[in-house]
Amino acid sequence: MKTRPPAVAGSFYPDDPAVLARSIDEMFFEVNGRTHNKSPKALIAPHAGYIYSGPTAASAYALLNPERVKRVILLGPTHRVLISGLALPETDAFKTPLGIIKLDQDAIQSIQGMVQVSTDSHTHALEHSLEVHLPFLQRKLGDFTLVPLAVGQARPEMVAEVLDKLWGGEETVIIISSDLSHFHAYESARKIDAGTTENILKLEPIITHEQACGATPINGLLAYAKKHLLKCELIDLHNSGDTAGPRDRVVGYGAFAFYEQDKS
């Protein structure tokens, strides 16, 4: 089995399995009261180092129902390799210090013929925007399969088409990986992120890359959500100045949950 090894364990998050598990469990404990009767169909969660964005990410993942969710569709922006469209890895599994996550080969095969989807392990090799979410998912869900997509230059409707193909039922959750504004002073960042939050809650696919590094997959989800009348809720909104960083150059972090409404 060809496996992608962890690339940022020991830098973005602990590489010791026991320390990593304990760290995540402590973050989940802190947000334990943030629960919902219905597991969200989609999430937006941040992807920075755990000391910065971990609590915000935990607030999103705490909402998932491990008895229902068995497959994760994970989309994140590319930070190191410039690509067009969406890229799948050439692997059978991803590995973290907490173990192996198998890829959903049937789901992957279902989108490989789409013009906007390519296969490129080079893009995935050092990309952190997908990897940092996996330990949270392993602690919350236990056993699940994964479809990891690195997202480059693409129109929102191109991303939405892929989401439509992979949407599935309650066994599937869609996760969009994105931080918000980057390197503004604390109060300026709060204002920018408040405007971004308003657009997301209104399901307006007009987010720019100055507002969020994952603007492309966010806009794809928003386009799909608007068409299919999903409801979006803000779960948490902070920045690195609230957690472990200085306040002169902060990075924003938001957690959002999307729910399918009763068709009746």
pLDDT band per the 50, 70, 90 thresholds, residue 33: low
pLDDT at 263: 61
pTM: 0.96
pLDDT at 171: 96
Identify the DSSP state of 11: T
pLDDT band per the 50, 70, 90 thresholds, residue 32: confident
The answer to whether position 264 is within a domain reads: no
pLDDT at 153: 95
Joined tokens for residue 108 = 């992957």
Domain range enclosing 81: 3-259
pLDDT (tens digit per residue) in 131-170 = 999 999 999 999 999 999 999 999 999 999 999 999 999 9
C-alpha to C-alpha distance for 126 and 161, rounded to whole angstroms: 26
Beta strands 182-184 and 172-177, pairing class: unpaired
pLDDT for 173 beyond 90: yes
C-alpha to C-alpha distance for 5 and 91, rounded to whole angstroms: 10
Q: Which residue has the tokens 């997202």?
A: 151
Over residues 36-44, the mean pLDDT reads 85
The answer to whether position 75 is within a domain reads: yes
Q: Residues 224-262, buried b or exposed e (16+ Cβ, 10 A)?
A: bbbebebebeebbbbbbbbbebeeeebbbbbbbbbbbee
Query: For the chain, how many structural domains are there in total?
Result: 1
C-alpha to C-alpha distance for 154 and 76, rounded to whole angstroms: 12
Over residues 70-98, the mean pLDDT reads 96
pLDDT band per the 50, 70, 90 thresholds, residue 39: confident
Burial (Cβ within 10 Å: 0-12, 13-18, ≥19) of residue 208: exposed
The answer to whether position 141 is within a domain reads: yes
Joined tokens for residue 181 = 């504004």
Taking the alpha carbons of 236, 55, 29, 98 in that order, is the dihedral positive or negative? positive
The CATH number of residue 43's host domain is 3.40.830.10
Identify the DSSP state of 15: S
